Every structure is written in C-alpha cells, then in structure tokens.
C-alpha cells in the first residue's frame, strides 16, 4: 500500500545516509502522533527512478532533502512524479534552500514546489503535514531544548543499506551522528553553515548524546571495531563534551569516532583536557580544514593563523590522534601558482596523516555566493574535487586541476580514499573514506 508521506534523497555524487529526514520523521511520531507506517523513504543512491516514482503514486506530501548538488536530480524526478501524482504537496528542505530569500526561492522553483522549509526542519515539516502551514517559505531557528528532539529514525532511512555497501567495499562498519547541533559562530567565506540558523550556544546535553550512542551500540551494532563520523560542521570542545566522553566510557560505548574541529579552537588548556578525555572515550581522528597556504589564510575568514594551525597539528600528533588536513585550491582570486606551492612546505611541517586537496566551489548560503554570477554553476556535475567553474586572477580552471593533481601525487602516501589511486590500500586507512 502506498504511504501518505514520502521522503526522497535524490542522487548526488557522494552520499551519506539521510539523517535529516530521519529526524523529521521521529519528531512527527513523538509530537504529532504519526508513525513509521505513514512514511516511505527513497534514496537515489539505491533506488531507481521507477521505484521512487511508483512509491509516490499515492503520497499526499513528498519531501525532498537537498543540497545544491542534488537540485537538478530532484527536478528531474519531480517531472516524472507529477505524471503519476499531481496532487501531492511538494516540500523542499536542506541546504539547497537555506541560502535564498523567499522571493528568490519562489522565483526559481515556486512553479514546481509548494513549500520551502529553511533551517532545522522538524517543526515546519509537522506544520505542513498537519495542514497548519501558513506560508510557503518557512524558516525556523534551532530549538531551545535540543534534547526534546528524538533520535533520527535510522530504520526508516534504511541505514542497513549503507552498512551493506561498506561491507562490500571491505570497510569497517560506519555511520554518522550529529553530536552537538551547535551552529558555528564563524562566517568563513566558503561555508553555508550560517544560512542554517543563528548561532546557538546551547548544545545537546552529554546524557542525550550518550543515550543515542547507546542506541547505536545496541540497535545498530556499533562496537569497538566501528567508526562513527560525527557530521557537525565543527565540534566545539565545551564542558559538555568532557562530560559526554566520561559518560561514553562509563556506559561502555566503545566505538571509535572522528570529528571536524577548528584548529584554533583546541589550543587552550581546558580544550586540550577535553580532547584527551574524548580520546580516552574512543576519539581516534580529528579533521581540520586548513584551506589555504600561509599567506592567504586570512582571506578565508576562518579564525585560524599559520601558527595556530601548526600548534594544533603538533598537539594532536603528540597525543597520537590521526589528523586529516583539508586544503581548498582557488578559494580567492588571489590564489597563484606560488600561493598553491606554499602549501607544500607548510604541509611537510604540520605533517598530517591524511591530506585532501579540493577545488573551491561557491555554494548558496555562503558569504561568497552571488546568485547573479554563480547560478550558472552546474552543481549536479560538480563536487569538492572537480568543477569546470572556478578560476583565479592568474590560474585557469585547468591550472587549478593541474595543481590539485600535482599535490595529490606529491603527497600520495597521505592521500585519503577518494583521491588515493590505490583504493584497496587506502580503505584500511582512517578518515572519511569510501563512506
Ligand atoms: C556529511 C556532509 C558531507 C558528506 C556527505 C554529503 C551527502 N551528500 O550526503 C561528504 C563528506 C561526502 C560531503 C561532501 C560535500 N559537501 Co557536505 N556536508 C556534510 C555535512 C557536514 C553534514 C550533513 C549532515 O548529515 N547533517 C546533519 C543532518 C541532521 O542535518 P541536515 O541534513 O541539514 O537536516 C536538517 C535540515 O537541513 C532540514 N532538512 C534536511 N532535509 C530535509 C528535507 C525536508 C523535506 C525538510 C522539510 C527539511 C529537511 O531538517 C533537518 C533536521 O533539522 C554538512 C554540514 C552540516 N553540518 O549540515 C555539509 C554540507 C551539506 N556540505 C556542503 C558542501 C558544499 C559539500 C561539498 C561540495 C564539499 C565542500 N566543498 O564543502 C561536497 C559535495 C558533495 C556532493 N556532491 O553532494 C555544504 C552544502 C551547501 C549547499 N548549498 O548545498 C554543507 C552545508 C557544508 C557547508 N557548511 O557549507 N558533505
């Protein structure tokens, strides 16, 4: 029998599990009296268009979970869905819609989409499915009590298909989890984070986080050989994180985990103590966006300096954590061959265990995005590793790809899975690998 609410995560080049819609569903069970029986979920990574369209035949509301990279796939699917069901309300949520004004959203896609829900979607999704939505574009902020949000329904989003995929690739069991749901207070030019919601100081409590970790252990088999990739844009080393680590140990939740951190936000003594406690509780990896070479670092708007980055990599090496450094080429028109090459000696000095070289692509929701110029970008055909758009004052798009290739080859022993020519070997390595 057809389900009345359908969630779709259209295909994009790299795909993790659709945790966001897992949250929307469980929130609606707890506060709206709905149940899993009301929902169907499809993921373009695993389900064909025909299956998805068939699953939408009797739907009343169809919610798409989107980044800018999956908008074209959504539009294509939408065309096919309308043929079999032109009555269903179409709802878009996720970062594809967060960065635009109401007028812009309606102008761009208002002819095809009924509702655009910006920011955290739990409350606004309920308004739509219960027929209470008063506007077509609704923006919510982060809820004051984050512990009131139930854990995402991982059953609905068929997380076992991701486990199966990983197993076939020879990887250890991995899944993702949102640790804090804090909104980063920084406004780096390349990041869409601030389009999600206003920064909030309060995060989930330690107990609430560890309760979800216990569920991951008991329901999803995450044991000491498993790895949880926290999907917060950045994790901040607050006192709650110290307590979370203590509780994780106390409750014998043994899986490993890794997280993004801002290099300058782990340097104070109390942050170092928290990091150590987290390591004791299973933290094995930290991922730090370095982005630029030393001379252009200030242009990213990120609160890091070459000295702080060096210190962060030194400290974490001393602690024995696996450290991954990300670098973005061409994020400013001032990037030249010299500023690219500057990264080489800098990387040799900070000595990350893994290194990734991406090519900048401006995204909606980020400070650098200008719709007049950037709406021409073909996001569907781009990802962080390749695009045909970006160039700088002195470097063409082909030059940027040339230098990316050069750096990957130069640091081939440190290349992470996606950029490592020897995929089998690198799968055994840490980091955000084949997931
Ligand atoms: C995990 C992750 C990845 C993974 C997997 C991505 C994937 N496609 O599955 C990897 C590492 C592969 C990746 C790659 C890239 N990513 Co990425 N990634 C993330 C990250 C860190 C977490 C996503 C997540 O799981 N969030 C947790 C869940 C719970 O939140 P959520 O999905 O946003 O859901 C909430 C709301 O958005 C909303 N919502 C979501 N879906 C729906 C649906 C409906 C119907 C409704 C009503 C509401 C709703 O409600 C949910 C609950 O409140 C985000 C940043 C972030 N913290 O969100 C960036 C982010 C999504 N990535 C981004 C970008 C730009 C990229 C890259 C280009 C790399 C780069 N240069 O930064 C590539 C492109 C990959 C591609 N082709 O898709 C941007 C997207 C900007 C945009 N305009 O689309 C983000 C926001 C980072 C940023 N701060 O700029 N990424």
Measured CA to CA, the distance from residue 170 to residue 104 in angstroms comes to 44
Measured CA to CA, the distance from residue 72 to residue 75 in angstroms comes to 5
Quick check: 183 and 54 in contact, CB under 8 A? no
Measured CA to CA, the distance from residue 65 to residue 97 in angstroms comes to 10
Nearest CA to ligand 1 atom 23: 231
Measured CA to CA, the distance from residue 286 to residue 271 in angstroms comes to 14
Quote the pLDDT of residue 426.
46
Q: Is the CB of 294 under 6 A from ligand 1?
A: no
The pLDDT tens digits along the chain (435 residues) read 568 999 999 998 877 899 999 999 999 999 999 999 999 999 999 999 999 999 999 999 999 999 999 999 999 999 999 999 999 999 999 999 999 999 999 999 999 999 999 999 999 999 999 999 999 999 999 999 999 999 999 999 999 999 888 888 777 778 999 999 988 999 899 999 999 999 988 899 999 999 999 999 999 999 998 999 999 999 999 999 999 999 999 999 999 999 999 999 999 999 999 999 999 999 999 999 999 999 999 999 999 999 999 999 999 999 999 999 999 999 999 999 999 999 999 999 999 999 999 999 999 999 999 999 999 999 999 988 889 999 999 999 999 999 999 999 999 888 877 777 665 554 455 554 445
Quote the pLDDT of residue 13.
82
3-state secondary structure of 7: strand
For 158-427, CATH number? 3.80.30.20
Phi, psi of 157 (to 5 degrees): -85, 10
Measured CA to CA, the distance from residue 262 to residue 264 in angstroms comes to 6
Q: Is the CB of 122 under 6 A from ligand 1?
A: yes
- Which residue in 398, 370, 371 sits closest to 386, CA to CA? 398
DSSP string, 217-228: HHHH---TT-EE
Quick check: 288 and 314 in contact, CB under 8 A? no
The answer to whether domain 5-147 and domain 158-427 are alike in fold is no
3-state secondary structure of 144: coil
Task: Kindly give the pairing relationship between strand 354-359 and strand 137-139.
Answer: unpaired
Quote the pLDDT of residue 427.
46
Quote the pLDDT of residue 183.
86
Nearest CA to ligand 1 atom 62: 67
Quote the pLDDT of residue 424.
57
Task: Please report the atom of ligand 1 found closest to the CA of residue 120.
Answer: 53
Specify the fold of 5-147: Rossmann fold (3.40.50)
**Which pTM value belongs to this model?**
0.96
Nearest CA to ligand 1 atom 8: 15
Task: Please report the atom of ligand 1 found closest to the CA of residue 366.
Answer: 90
∠ CA 27-30-33, rounded to 5°:
110
Domain boundaries, the chain: 5-147, 158-427
Q: Is the CB of 16 under 6 A from ligand 1?
A: yes
User: Which two tokens mark 178?
Assistant: 């949102």
């Amino acid at each position: 029998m057809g389900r009345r609410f359908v969630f779709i995560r259209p295909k994009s080049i790299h795909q993790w599990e659709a945790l966001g819609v897992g949250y929307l569903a469980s929130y609606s069970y707890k506060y709206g009296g709905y149940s899993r029986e009301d929902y169907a979920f499809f993921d373009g990574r695993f389900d064909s268009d025909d299956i998805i369209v068939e699953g939408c035949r009797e739907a009343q509301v169809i919610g798409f979970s989107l980044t800018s990279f999956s908008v074209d796939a959504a539009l294509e699917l939408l065309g096919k869905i309308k043929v079999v069901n032109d009555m269903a309300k179409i709802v878009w949520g996720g970062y594809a819609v967060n960065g635009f004004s109401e007028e812009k959203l309606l102008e761009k896609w208002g002819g095809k989409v009924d509702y655009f829900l910006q920011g955290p979607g739990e409350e606004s999704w309920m308004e739509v499915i219960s027929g209470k939505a008063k506007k077509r574009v609704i923006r919510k902020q982060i809820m004051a009590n984050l512990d009131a949000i139930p854990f995402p329904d991982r059953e609905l989003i068929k997380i076992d298909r991701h486990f199966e995929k990983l197993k076939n690739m020879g990887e250890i069991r991995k899944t993702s989890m949102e640790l804090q749901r804090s909104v980063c207070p920084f406004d780096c030019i390349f990041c869409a984070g601030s389009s999600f919601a206003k920064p909030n100081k309060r995060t989930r409590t330690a107990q609430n986080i560890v309760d979800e970790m216990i569920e991951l252990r008991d329901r999803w088999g995450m044991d000491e050989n498993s790895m949880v990739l926290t999907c917060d844009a950045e994790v901040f080393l607050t006192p709650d994180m110290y307590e979370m680590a203590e509780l994780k140990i106390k409750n014998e939740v043994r899986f490993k985990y890794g997280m993004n951190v801002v290099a300058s936000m782990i340097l104070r003594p109390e942050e170092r103590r928290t990091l150590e406690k987290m390591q004791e509780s299973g933290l094995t990896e930290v991922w730090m966006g370095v982005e630029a070479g030393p001379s252009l670092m200030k242009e990213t708007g990120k609160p890091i300096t070459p000295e702080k980055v060096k210190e962060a990599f030194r400290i974490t090496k001393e602690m024995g954590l696996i450290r991954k450094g990300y670098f973005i080429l061409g994020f400013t028109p001032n990037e030249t061959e010299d500023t690219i090459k500057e990264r080489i000696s800098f990387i040799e000095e900070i000595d990350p265990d893994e290194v990734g070289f991406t090519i900048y692509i401006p995204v909606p929701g980020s400070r650098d995005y200008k719709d007049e110029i950037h709406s021409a970008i073909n996001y569907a055909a781009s990802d962080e590793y390749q695009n045909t758009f970006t160039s700088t004052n002195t470097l063409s798009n082909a030059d940027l790809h040339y230098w990316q290739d050069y750096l990957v080859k130069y640091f081939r022993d440190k290349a992470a899975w996606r950029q490592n020519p020897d995929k089998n070997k690198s799968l055994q390595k840490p980091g955000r690998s084949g997931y």
